[in-house]
Every structure is written in C-alpha cells, then in structure tokens.
Amino acid sequence: MSNLPTTFLTHSQRVCRLYKSLFVYARRAHWPDRLAYRQCMVEYRARFDANKNVQDLMKAKRLLIAGEDELKKSMHVHTENFNFPESPNGIAENRYPTPDDSALDGWHPLEKAQYPTYFATREKRKKAYMEWYLKRYGIPDPPMM
C-alpha cells in the first residue's frame, strides 16, 4: 500500500513525483524508441532546470500546477501501464499470485511422504499455533452463514 499518498507532500517532493511520472509518460509515448524517449527526457530536464532558482513560492507553485496539468492532459490517451506489468497499476498486477500456504495441506499423502521432515515439522507448527490461538483468543465462534 506504499503507493497510496498518506502524508502531506512538500513542494520539492511534488516536483520529484512530477518528474518521475514524466519518465513513465515519455516511456509509454515513445515506446519502443528509446532514443526518442531519452531525447524527450533531456528536454523535460532542461525545462525543469530553467526554473530551478525561482524564489517566489507562489510562482513556483503555479509552475508546478501547470506542469501537472500538462502531464494530465498528455497522459489521458495512455490508459494501460505496460512499463512494469507486475507492479501496482500495471497491466499484470496480481496475475500470478503466490499460492496460499494452506495449499500444502491438500497434498496427497504420497506426495507428502516425499518430504517427510518438512511435513513433520509443519504438523508440529500447526499444533503449536492452534494452542497459541486457543490460549490467546479462546474457542472461536462457528463461522457465520
């Protein structure tokens, strides 16, 4: 959940995020031409550096909001994020989930017999967890229907 904004962002943090999302935009807009993508990013960097020493905070904020609007307007045609498919907001997010640990309980006994040490320890761990749960929370209610 670390991709969700939970804190107030300072001005420089907002500038950094705008710059990083410009990378995402340029990579999608020029894909697969990496040379054009690099050219585009160099031009963006020059535009950022031109306003590096603005002392007036109101003017800096107006510039920042103008940049964010420009990004928003150019980004709306790129609906699918294929840059990092398995990352948050990617097109293949959660496509191959890690199987739940309880899937091991469904193994056939002959399959379990191939790893005797692991499954013996696993039974012990499960028993210890159940004891801990009963001690901590008591006997649980039956599940609601």
Partner 1 sequence: MLKTIIRHGCRLRPALNMRLPTSTLNTRLHTSSLSKANPHGQIWPCVFVSRRTSILEQNIKDAGQMRTPPPLTPRDIESRVLRICNDYDKIQEAHKNKITLATHFMNDLGLDSLDHVEIIVALENEFGFEVPDADYDKLYTIKAVVDYLIKRMNIVEHKKPVVSSASDPRYDHHHH
> Site residues (CB under 8 A) for partner 1?
2-3, 5-7, 12-13, 15-17, 19-20, 23, 45, 48-49, 83-84, 86-88, 90
Closest CA to 15 of 59, 60, 58: 60
Least distance CB 126 / partner 1 (angstroms): 23
Least distance CB 20 / partner 1 (angstroms): 5
| Surface-to-core class of residue 25, CB atoms within 10 Å of its CB (0-12 exposed, 13-18 middle, 19+ buried) | buried
Residue whose CB is less far from partner 1, 9 or 113: 9
Residue whose CB is less far from partner 1, 31 or 132: 31
Q: What is the CA radius of gyration of the chain?
A: 26
Least distance CB 137 / partner 1 (angstroms): 30
Residue whose CB is less far from partner 1, 72 or 126: 72
Whose tokens are 């107006």? That residue is 62
| 109 contacts 119 by C-beta, under 8 angstroms | no
Taking the CA of residue 42 as centre, how many other CA atoms within 13 Å lie in the half-sphere pointing to its CB?
6
Least distance CB 124 / partner 1 (angstroms): 23
Residue whose CB is less far from partner 1, 80 or 131: 80
Least distance CB 127 / partner 1 (angstroms): 27
Residue whose CB is less far from partner 1, 98 or 106: 98
Tokens standing for 103? 């899937």
